[in-house]
Amino acid sequence: AEKTACLKAETKERTLKMFLLSQKHIVYTDLLDVQAGCPVTVFYNPTNTVLNGKSEIWFRCSFNRWTHRLGSLPPQKMISFDSSSHVKAT
């Protein structure tokens, strides 16, 4: 039973990493493994999304599946960086 639980946890972790890497052309972070309480920079490429061509892009986030007692975090305006279409927020 312990071996099965270990294999299941490893499979779940690999699947999550594969999903995150498959989405990297749209949204990604500077760290693959984000830790609670640590700042993280989120990068977003609006080119092939509904936000393509918008003058402003805002990042809204929360934790605990939006059910935390203190509510969600305040929205942050994403800023352009480099000469690409990508934007970022920290």
- In this structure, is residue 47 part of a structural domain? yes
- In this structure, is residue 79 part of a structural domain? yes
Encoded tokens for 48: 């092939």
Instruction: Please tell me whether the overall predicted TM-score, pTM, comes out greater than 0.75 for this model.
Output: no
- In this structure, is residue 74 part of a structural domain? yes
pLDDT tens-place string over residues 18-38: 887 777 788 888 877 788 788
- In this structure, is residue 34 part of a structural domain? yes
Closest CA to 23 of 13, 12, 35, 15: 15
User: Which residues are registered as beta bridge partners of 58?
Assistant: 77
Q: Domain residues for 67?
A: 26-89
- In this structure, is residue 39 part of a structural domain? yes
Q: How many domains does the chain have?
A: 1
- In this structure, is residue 8 part of a structural domain? no
pLDDT tens-place string over residues 6-22: 999 999 988 888 887 77
- In this structure, is residue 11 part of a structural domain? no
